[in-house]
Structure 1
Amino acid sequence: MHAVTVREYARITTGPMAVANGLDQATVSDVAFDWVCKESERLRKAGAGLVQLEGRRWLRLDNYVGVLQAPDGTRIEILPKTFDEGDDATQARRLLQKMLQRCLHLEPRISAPTGLQVFDGPLTEWVIQQFLAALDTLVKRGLRFDYHAVEEERRFLRGRLLVGRQLRQPPGRAHYFQVEHKVFDADRPENRLLRSALDKVCRQAKEAGNKRLAYELAHQLLEIPPSRDFAKDFAQWRSDRLTAHYRPVRPWCSLILNEQNPLTVLGDWTGNSLLFPMEKVFESYVEACLRRALRPGQTLKAQAASRYLATHDEQPWFQLRPDFLLFDDGATTVLDTKWKRLDANRGNSEDKYGLSQADFYQLYAYGQKYLGGCGRLALLYPQTATFREPLLPFFFNDQLRLDVMPFDLTTGQVVCDDWL
């Protein structure tokens, strides 16, 4: 299996033309190249293009991160483009893993020193490892059992006799009883989903430690039937006191079975492919970090949708959805996140640091509709080597101010001492 590690917006080529493989460009097989083109076309019809064509021999990746695995076994690992100094794939991979854990609202666990080492395999193997570790802990604490009704035919009476079905028995089977009774076992929605996810992991795990643990757990869950309807069973997943120890494993189960998770929008996990839109990962990561930093009296609301840009024929049109509203003792701040690299050295009237005029129009509309034209707005961009400090504030008017600030991905904090 040929493995390639690149980062967002990298260029991919194929054929006899040799290029120096790195995080910004790489060579793949003809089969993998054609497969990526077809997958991109399929996804583009659903509104999520994967690559852009550059001539006849080059593809440029979009801002998705994760792993693509072609039918010939070629694995393309795509990492976030956050570090400028050198091609440090390990550092980028660890940062992505940290962001995904925080996005999935998983609390860090204290384990043995060897367990504290960051897994340095591909993203899919890391997801499998996290799922197996959470499932192993769950099994050791004990699976939840439940009562459920069973209708069957027996030679003796057990439970309730189904009179209607019994009367319809043919004469030759009158000695059999049609009964309904309850059994107490592990056949419940949560366990069925875990069994289905584990079956998928057993087929796809490549790392030796993951395969060993997967088959050990499969032996313990052998009596549980797999889920026949993922959506229905996820809807029936209980989150009460008795199933509190199931919470850590659900996000990983959701990723593996491809429930409609806000982070995964690219369809099925085909083979070992798993992709995340980086702007959504960044937004979710910022939300999780901000919620941890809130002071008493502060409230953070995500994806507010109570205002519209205009009214037409007494109907509201063009809904405005800022990423976050921060409420602090009566004061409201509008926050929006953008996964884009700014350059503080390009602060001239032509380059404008790399800022987008459309983003400023968007923030101006938020300020008018959510703040009444008076208050404070903020744009958060990832911190990079060329954007380490907040820019000087922008003013739409004397009372409406916009701050453009970097967000430190490593510490999970806004780089502005007096902001939060």
Structure 2
Amino acid sequence: MTRLELAESGRAVQAELSSQQAAALAASGIVRVEPGRRLGLWRIAGRRLVGAARISDVDIRIAPKTPVTRLLFLLGYSSLPDRWHPEPIEASERDGLLPAVAYAFVRAAERGLRHGAPQGYVSVDETLPVIRGRIRYADQLRRHFGRTFPVEAAYEEFTEDIPENRILRTASRRLLTLAGVPAVCRPELRRVIAALPDVDELASTRSLPTWTAGPRNARLETAIRLGELVLRGASYDLDDVGSVPVDGLLLNMEKVFEDFVTASLTEALRLYPGHVQTDGSRYFLDKAQRIRLLPDLVWCRRDGTAAGVADAKYKAESVRGFPNADIYQMVSYCLGLGLNRGHLIYAAGEKPAVRHIVRHSGIELIQHTVPLAAEPPILLDAMSRIAAEIAEESQAI
């Protein structure tokens, strides 16, 4: 088994691989693969995916630039309005994203299941020898041609076999199959499965069941969110090929950062009159509405008119590295929304905002940076200052 230790968007490492292994890695799109200086030697570099995966007998570990403890904090913003709070992890548990997630999951699941699994009502459609619940008359006529029995019935059943528990059980089973999960977690994962004996595992993780956070499942919310993270990490979206299955856990840092920026700004802007619009698909650049605009966040006045726009960019490590394409995109957003100011937000540390005035238009573009590696209060304070600047624009006509 070949093991590759890579860094997110970092320098390439050289590895001895067979042509089949190199081809499989290249086809996956998870890493960049280039020929080395001689036959059988290959240069492998990480992209903006982080985590662990196994492809064609090659174990890949891609370390995030952001500390794992901070990454778990960012992931808590991935489910707004249902914010959740991953617990801090010990220093010995920080060696990689997959071990950290496994530790956090089993800790939250075992604590939440200590007093039993939550129960709830689920809708059941079933063929029964007696009447129970409501008769499904259309199915009764189609399947039984007017006979009284058996009965096509629909009823509500109070059970542990609810979406939340299915996510927990399926995530536990999946973690048991992954090579990078610490051995100390495995008995605890088996205990989680044993605590849910009457719960079915999900047949597919491509579309996870929906559930609603509330008092019934509050003690397990963190575990359920981490379980969803584990199950979604079983595949990732590749632009040209669609969803690619992964034997491991991978996160797209661009999506993590975008979710954090959108959710944290939404929370901070609740202090101001107006509302946030995150479905940018309603906006267009042209009058014929053929050129769609997709900003991450639009701040609207009370009457619904756009007052500010922001877009997250997980791209640069220095102000000098900001791509011009981001500027052109934000100019289009401002023109299409009728705004004279736009905000670009980069994961680039603590640096002063850079401001640009677009000639012949009066549009001002502001490039903000936020320090992902900083302590949470510092990071959230930076987002609050950006939110305040956006909210001020709603007062202008």
Which residue of structure 2 lines up, in the alignment, with residue 377 of structure 1? 342
Which residue of structure 2 lines up, in the alignment, with residue 89 of structure 1? none
Question: Residues 13-57 of structure 1: CA distance to partner in whole angstroms, max 9, x if unpaired?
Answer: xxxxxxxxxxx34344425x85354243244xxxxx742536663
Q: Shift of residue 291 of structure 1?
A: 2.5
Matches within 5 A, 1:315-330: 315-327=288-300
CA–CA separation in structure 1 for the residues paired with 2:332 and 2:201: 49
Which residue of structure 1 lines up, in the alignment, with residue 8 of structure 2? 8
Q: After the TM superposition, which of the residue ranges 128-137 and 141-150 deviates more from structure 2?
A: 141-150
Secondary structure of the 1:317 match is coil
Change (3 A) 1:54 1:144: same
Matches within 5 A, 1:234-253: 234-235=209-210, 237-239=211-213, 242-245=216-219, 247-253=221-227
Amino acid at match of 1:191: N
Number of matched residues?
357
Secondary structure of the 2:286 match is strand
The question of whether the paired residues in 1 share the 8 Å contact of 2:8 and 2:64 is answered with: yes
Secondary structure of the 2:366 match is strand
The question of whether the paired residues in 2 share the 8 Å contact of 1:391 and 1:405 is answered with: yes
The question of whether the paired residues in 2 share the 8 Å contact of 1:36 and 1:70 is answered with: no
CA–CA separation in structure 1 for the residues paired with 2:313 and 2:207: 35
Q: Shift of residue 368 of structure 1?
A: 1.0
Q: Is 2:328 aligned against 1:361? A: yes
Q: Shift of residue 401 of structure 1?
A: 1.0
Question: Residues 66-122 of structure 1: CA distance to partner in whole angstroms, max 9, x if unpaired?
Answer: 223244353322323x6xxxxxxxxx33333332233345433678xxx66573132
Which residue of structure 1 lines up, in the alignment, with residue 136 of structure 2? none
Q: Is 2:24 aligned against 1:38? A: yes
Which residue of structure 1 lines up, in the alignment, with residue 314 of structure 2? 339
Secondary structure of the 1:408 match is coil
Which residue of structure 1 lines up, in the alignment, with residue 264 of structure 2? 289
Q: Shift of residue 318 of structure 1?
A: 2.0
Question: Residues 152-175 of structure 1: CA distance to partner in whole angstroms, max 9, x if unpaired?
Answer: 78xxx8979x9x98x99xxxxxxx
The question of whether the paired residues in 2 share the 8 Å contact of 1:6 and 1:79 is answered with: no
Q: Given the alignment, which residue of 14, 32, 48 partners 1:51?
A: 32
Which residue of structure 2 lines up, in the alignment, with residue 265 of structure 1? 237
| TM-score between the two structures when normalised by the length of structure 1 | 0.70
Secondary structure of the 1:102 match is coil
Identity of aligned residues (%): 19
Q: Given the alignment, which residue of 85, 101, 107 partners 1:108?
A: 85
Which residue of structure 2 lines up, in the alignment, with residue 279 of structure 1? 254
Amino acid at match of 1:389: P
Q: Shift of residue 335 of structure 1?
A: 1.2
Q: Is 2:68 aligned against 1:68? A: no
Q: Given the alignment, which residue of 120, 141, 146 partners 2:94?
A: 120
The question of whether the paired residues in 1 share the 8 Å contact of 2:118 and 2:216 is answered with: no
The question of whether the paired residues in 1 share the 8 Å contact of 2:6 and 2:45 is answered with: no
Q: Is 2:195 aligned against 1:195? A: no
Amino acid at match of 2:32: V
The question of whether the paired residues in 2 share the 8 Å contact of 1:258 and 1:268 is answered with: no
Question: Residues 173-197 of structure 1: CA distance to partner in whole angstroms, max 9, x if unpaired?
Answer: xxxx978998653233433333222
Q: After the TM superposition, which of the residue ranges 408-417 and 398-407 deviates more from structure 2?
A: 408-417
Change (3 A) 1:198 1:109: closer
CA RMSD of aligned residues (A): 4.0
Change (3 A) 1:270 1:78: same
Q: Given the alignment, which residue of 360, 382, 388 partners 1:414?
A: 382
Question: Residues 370-417 of structure 1: CA distance to partner in whole angstroms, max 9, x if unpaired?
Answer: 025xx2111112224xx7111244334463211112122223243868
> Which protein has the larger Cα radius of gyration, Structure 1 or Structure 2?
1
CA–CA separation in structure 2 for the residues paired with 1:117 and 1:328: 45
CA–CA separation in structure 1 for the residues paired with 2:317 and 2:125: 60
CA–CA separation in structure 1 for the residues paired with 2:166 and 2:200: 6
Q: Shift of residue 319 of structure 1?
A: 0.7
Q: Given the alignment, which residue of 92, 97, 112 partners 2:72?
A: 97
Change (3 A) 1:179 1:336: closer
The question of whether the paired residues in 2 share the 8 Å contact of 1:193 and 1:230 is answered with: no
Which residue of structure 2 lines up, in the alignment, with residue 308 of structure 1? 284
Amino acid at match of 1:302: T
Q: Is 2:370 aligned against 1:403? A: no
Secondary structure of the 2:251 match is strand
CA–CA separation in structure 2 for the residues paired with 1:233 and 1:359: 33
CA–CA separation in structure 2 for the residues paired with 1:69 and 1:8: 17
Question: Residues 117-151 of structure 1: CA distance to partner in whole angstroms, max 9, x if unpaired?
Answer: 57313212222233323322332343214475665
Q: Given the alignment, which residue of 4, 26, 30 partners 2:13?
A: 26
Q: Shift of residue 234 of structure 1?
A: 0.6
CA–CA separation in structure 2 for the residues paired with 1:303 and 1:146: 32
CA–CA separation in structure 2 for the residues paired with 1:293 and 1:118: 34
CA–CA separation in structure 2 for the residues paired with 1:229 and 1:305: 29
